[in-house]
Amino acid sequence: MLLHSQSPQPRHPLASYAYPAVISGTEKPVPLIGTSFDVQIDAGLAVVTATRRFRNVEEESIEVTLTFPVPVHAVLFQLSARIGERRLEAIAQAKVAARDTYERAIDQGRSAVLHEEVLRGIHQLSVAHVPPGQEIAVEASWAMPLTAMPGGAKLHIPVTVGEIYGASPLDDSDDFFHQASVQEAELSVTCRDGTVALTGGVLQEGRARLRLDAPIVLEVSGWQPRALHGIAADGRGVEVEISRQPAGDLPLDAAILVDRSGSMAEEASGLLQGAEAIQAPPTKHGVVVAGLLAAASSTLSGDRIDLWEFDHTAGKVPGRDLAAAARRLSPPGGGTEIGQAIEAVLASRPTRDVLLITDGKSHAIDVQAAARSGRRFHVVLIGEDSLEAHVGYLAALTGGQIFVAAGLEASSHIRQALAAMRLPHLPATQVTDPPSEVEAMIGGMRVKATWHAGSVAEPGRWSRAVAAFAASLALPRLPEPKAAALAEAEGLVTHLTSLVLVDEQGEAQSGLPAQRRVGLMVPRTAPLAYSGLAHSISALHACCLLPLPGVHAEQMPAHAERIPAYSSDLAALCGRIDWAAAPEALRRGDLSPLPADIALEVEAAAEEPEIIALAAELGVPPAVLVLALMAQSVSQTNRAAARFARAVLGGATAASGSGGQPDAGREAALRAAAAALGL
């Protein structure tokens, strides 16, 4: 749930913007009013069900979107929504088809929910046409194995991320977004065998309430491996067994690549306890150096390890052994050119393994190119605001392993990564269709899935979770068409499929829903410029393109750099229009949501004779036609603009998701009008 912060009387006149739970830069209330996580753990497998409640207190229909991190090895297999007294279940469709289903529902005024994987490790939830004064609760479940730890195992649930450097591959509307408001969640945990502890908190009868500015980390001890049973979509029985990774005896042949960028100077963790909490919190880089020194004691005489470090450049660190080289690591500072660093390592001695030690907060990596090198990549992520998406996907593609260290446990994870590199490199081989057996190593665990005729499992969520997780192991080993068919049959969210539902029985809403993006909570370890008051003030300065005292240019929110300079060229102005904020007002001809200079340009363009004539033929105000033509010109890269163009121009446009055939004559007239406006 989002709460108003109980803060002292603000001293700065802009400080009040940091505390209310409203959409940043507006007075619109945040529509996310409640969040809960239910975790069930059995024999090394965790099933996490997140329930999010959205309420629309505005006077018109809205669309709510939320982009959030998930573990790379998690597989989302169930999505449902409660609308009034009705519970609706989502179905899996090919990714493009699911998006088209969702967009058609919006055009028809139907409430709909779409869950997509926008990048491996990054998901987006979209809820369209939440009616005024009503509430929609969305429930989604995902499954993954626990990560091995000395004496037990753990489950790491990311809920926010830090600032990510580099150009994002995602559109602005799909990218991570932070809000200066407090978010809390209810947590409930059950474990069939073993004991569960909440890192940094206390579970009382399996329950806790926590803030969503740090990951949820559960430590599990005393659990025992055994077979788990499920029912596949084709009716066959599925058996999954998770156990600790076996010991390997191969000599190490590896390059260790250590991130020393500026973000590694940040605090390593807020999860320090006891005497450690009294001392100054260590930096991420300091934790890495200590972890490498501790792990060096497990190396053997036949091991060959090259130690590298990188910021905006990469270099090999000299030293007679790992410990000596670790002591010569440079302090953090500089950029995060991880892609160039990987290229440098790959161009050097051809090692069997590459271990990345980083906070993962960079978009600058070509995952596919690195995977084609044939090396096996492993990742140790440092910091509770780290991101698995890019580096974690690289590890998953190459058969490597991922370990997430919130802070001081980095040394044990580095040791586990070294142990994983002593195992033979077994590239993923193709499996039969339908699959019969598959095995993998994930997070220090050996996981094995087998399919057989008949089933001993009882139908239900747990059975579905077991079958879904087994299918996720087989997907990367199948040709893409067969992988897509299996993912759709099992109801999975993947890079090939999404889950979507449409409320066909509810009352249809009129008009276009205004988009309300729900941000993640600012990480508690974030620098001052990204939390609380400074976060809000920076957003206000960014909107006005004013310099922000004490914040360097590279720290400014990404959207501040994307606002083009003023231009009388209509095509140049399209990118400055927020097509999602108030689309229905624009469709009615109300230009007040537009920047004043753009409104003047639209009004001037609306006086063109071609526009006046075509607007009369279409039955829309000339200014609205101008906006629709502008929206159509950017519809391929802006979904909200495409919706606006469809709503105004109807069957005359072939904009994405229209679901209808354009009228050839009308389309020609629209092209001519757009050309007259320079669009």
Q: Is the pLDDT of residue 16 over 70?
A: no
What's the confidence (pLDDT) of residue 535? 41
Q: Are 322 and 291 in contact (CB under 8 A)?
A: no
pLDDT digit string, tens, across residues 51-86: 999 999 999 999 999 999 999 999 999 999 999 889
pLDDT of residue 560: 36
The C-alpha R_g of the chain, in whole angstroms, comes to: 26
Would you say residue 48 has pLDDT above 80?
yes
Structure tokens at 288: 């890495």
Instruction: Give the three-class secondary structure for 618.
Output: helix
Other Cβ atoms within 10 Å of 298 Cβ, number? 14
Answer yes or no: is pLDDT of 639 > 60.
yes
Q: How far is it, in rounded angstroms, from Cα 542 to Cα 526? A: 19
Beta strand residue intervals within 453-518, DSSP E: 497-502, 514-518
Mean pLDDT value across residues 595-619: 90
Nearest to 70 by CA among 145, 114, 124: 124
Residue 426 has pLDDT above 80, yes or no: no
Q: At what angle do helices 609-618 and 622-633 cross, to 10 degrees?
A: 100
Cβ–Cβ < 8 Å for 487, 92: yes
Is the pLDDT at 408 greater than 90? The verdict is no
As a whole number of angstroms, the distance between CA 204 and CA 527 comes to 32
Separation CA 319–CA 385 (nearest Å): 31
**pLDDT greater at residue 72 or residue 385:** 72
Helices 622-633 and 639-649: crossing angle in degrees, nearest 10, is 140
Q: Give the mean model confidence (pLDDT) for residues 284-306.
A: 91
Q: What angle do CA 74, 498, 107 make, to 5 degrees?
A: 145
> What local confidence, expressed as pLDDT, does residue 651 receive?
55
- Cα distance between residue 623 and residue 610, in whole Å: 12
Q: For position 171, what pLDDT does the model report?
A: 84
The two tokens of residue 290 are: 């200590």
Position 329 scores a pLDDT of 94
Paired tokens of 478: 């199948």
User: What local confidence, expressed as pLDDT, does residue 244 receive?
Assistant: 92
End-to-end Cα distance, the chain: 44
pTM metric for this prediction: 0.86
Each residue's pLDDT tens digit, 121-147: 999 999 999 999 999 999 999 999 999
Going by pLDDT thresholds of 50, 70 and 90, the confidence category of residue 528 is: low
Q: What is the pLDDT of residue 56?
A: 94
**What value does the mean pLDDT take over residues 168-179?**
86
